[in-house]
């Protein structure tokens, strides 16, 4: 009996030592460079936004924040790597809307976007713009819906490929507007824009920054932006929600996430640092210049938003039958 009590005492003491050690590590965090996994290749919107925040976060933490690009499978490869990393605050995932979409789009993932991560902060949203070729006789979302209803299955829309954010955003539009538009996938958003510029396809949804020069030159006509609020970059462009589809939102978003089990103190510290970074005048201005909407949420707000996004896109994927290329 005494031997058993002694063993239990040693085990309990070891557990306390581990807990105290973890708490001490959290209090001294960080003591070495931090890895920021971007689950996409260099050069895209996710990579650019991550690098913008990484530079400032390095200053805030007093340690280098190293970008680790792990592209592939629509962001799933990098996300899986982050989910299996040590939960010590030295690995951060640059999460995006793809996480919420892929949960249903890919059927079964080797990780759970909600259960395997701690949501730290939703930092920015990058909405799309609905653009049409000038030959399409519509100047508003309401007119587009009316035309589509008068000619079901006769109007095509271009996207960057099956399962792309533009594809699902367009399918959400179809569902909410009760219209039948025909999907024509291209190999990337660039070719989709070219198709609309040439008149090969009458409309598409693409990132605002990429398409607005063509709108300003008159080669394309912008109908609305897909965020819930007007873009500070293009304040005169109405949202889809205020143009006839209340509640519509289909924006790419970016936020910081940590592997489940990361000490609460570290998650709270990173939330505080990142929210302060969003509020810096130069960062705020840079995001707006890139047609993004600065956010900077609480941990609870981001967790709730992620769950809402997963529910929304699951319904869209199931209704449309969307699959990846």
Whether 267 is covered by a domain: the verdict is: yes
Residue 32 has pLDDT above 60, yes or no: yes
Q: Residue 156: beta bridge partners?
A: 182
Claim to verify: residue 151 and residue 63 sit in the same structural domain: no
Token pair 């970016």 in the structure block, residue = 254
Claim to verify: residue 186 and residue 219 sit in the same structural domain: yes
Residue 23 binned pLDDT confidence (cut-offs 50, 70, 90) = low
| Phi, psi values for residue 160, rounded to 5° | -80, 10
Claim to verify: residue 39 and residue 86 sit in the same structural domain: yes
Claim to verify: residue 76 and residue 145 sit in the same structural domain: no
- Model's pTM, two decimal places? 0.88
Find the range with the poorest average confidence among 16-20, 272-276, 293-297, 298-302: 16-20
Residue 52 has pLDDT above 90, yes or no: yes
Claim to verify: residue 146 and residue 229 sit in the same structural domain: yes
Pick the last residue of a domain from 184, 218, 243: 243
Whether 24 is covered by a domain: the verdict is: no
Tokens of 269: 């510290």
Token pair 């793809």 in the structure block, residue = 98
Q: Which CATH number is 310's domain given?
A: 3.40.190.150
Mean pLDDT computed over 112-137? 97
Claim to verify: residue 146 and residue 238 sit in the same structural domain: yes
Whether 21 is covered by a domain: the verdict is: no
Pick the last residue of a domain from 183, 216, 243: 243
Which has the higher per-residue pLDDT, 220 or 19?
Answer: 220
Q: Residue 155: beta bridge partners?
A: 181
Whether 7 is covered by a domain: the verdict is: no
Claim to verify: residue 172 and residue 313 sit in the same structural domain: no
Residue 101 has pLDDT above 80, yes or no: yes
Cα–Cα distance, 278 to 280 (Å, whole number): 6
The string of pLDDT tens digits covering residues 211-220 is 989 999 999 9
Domain count, the chain: 2
Whether 11 is covered by a domain: the verdict is: no
Query: Whole domain around residue 219: which residue ranges?
Result: 128-243
Whether 172 is covered by a domain: the verdict is: yes
Q: What percent of the chain has pLDDT over 90?
A: 82
The string of pLDDT tens digits covering residues 252-297 is 999 999 999 999 999 999 999 999 999 999 999 999 998 999 999 9
Mean pLDDT computed over 61-66? 98
Q: Which CATH number is 159's domain given?
A: 3.40.190.10
Token pair 């070219």 in the structure block, residue = 194
- What is the predicted pLDDT for the residue at 325? 60
Claim to verify: residue 199 and residue 237 sit in the same structural domain: yes
The string of pLDDT tens digits covering residues 254-266 is 999 999 999 999 9
Q: CA dihedral defined by 168, 68, 287, 280, rounded to 10 degrees?
A: 140
The string of pLDDT tens digits covering residues 182-198 is 999 999 889 999 999 99
Find the range with the poorest average confidence among 20-34, 273-287, 291-305: 20-34
Claim to verify: residue 217 and residue 195 sit in the same structural domain: yes
Token pair 């609305």 in the structure block, residue = 224
- What is the predicted pLDDT for the residue at 24? 54
Residue 10 has pLDDT above 50, yes or no: no
Whether 85 is covered by a domain: the verdict is: yes
């Amino acid at each position: 009996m005494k031997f058993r009590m002694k063993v239990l005492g040693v085990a309990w003491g070891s557990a306390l030592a581990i807990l105290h050690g973890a708490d001490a590590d959290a209090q001294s965090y960080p003591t070495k460079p931090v890895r920021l996994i971007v689950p996409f290749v260099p050069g895209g919107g996710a990579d650019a936004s991550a690098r913008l925040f990484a530079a400032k976060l390095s200053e805030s933490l007093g340690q280098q924040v190293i970008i680790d690009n792990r592209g592939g499978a629509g962001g799933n490869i990098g996300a899986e790597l982050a989910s299996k990393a040590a939960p010590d605050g030295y690995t951060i995932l640059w999460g995006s809307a793809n996480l919420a979409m892929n949960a249903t789009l890919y059927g079964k993932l080797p990780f759970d976007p909600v259960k395997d991560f701690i949501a730290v902060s939703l930092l920015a949203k990058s909405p799309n713009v609905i653009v049409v070729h000038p030959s399409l006789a519509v100047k508003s979302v309401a007119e587009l819906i009316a035309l589509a209803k008068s000619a079901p299955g006769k109007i095509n829309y271009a996207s960057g490929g099956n399962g792309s954010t533009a594809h699902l955003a367009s399918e959400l539009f179809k569902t909410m507007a009760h219209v039948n538009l025909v999907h024509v996938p291209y190999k990337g958003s660039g070719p989709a824009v070219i198709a609309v510029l040439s008149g090969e396809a009458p409309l598409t949804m693409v990132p605002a920054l990429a398409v607005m020069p063509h709108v300003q030159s008159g080669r394309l006509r912008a109908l609305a932006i897909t965020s819930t609020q007007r873009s500070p970059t293009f304040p005169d462009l109405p949202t889809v929600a205020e143009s006839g589809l209340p509640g519509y939102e289909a924006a790419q978003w970016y936020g910081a996430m940590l592997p489940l089990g990361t000490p609460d103190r570290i998650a709270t510290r990173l939330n505080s640092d990142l929210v302060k970074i969003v509020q810096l005048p130069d960062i705020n201005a840079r995001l707006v210049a890139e047609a993004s909407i600065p956010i900077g949420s609480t941990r609870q707000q981001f967790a709730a938003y992620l769950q809402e996004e997963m529910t929304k896109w699951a319904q869209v994927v199931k209704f449309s039958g969307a699959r990846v290329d």
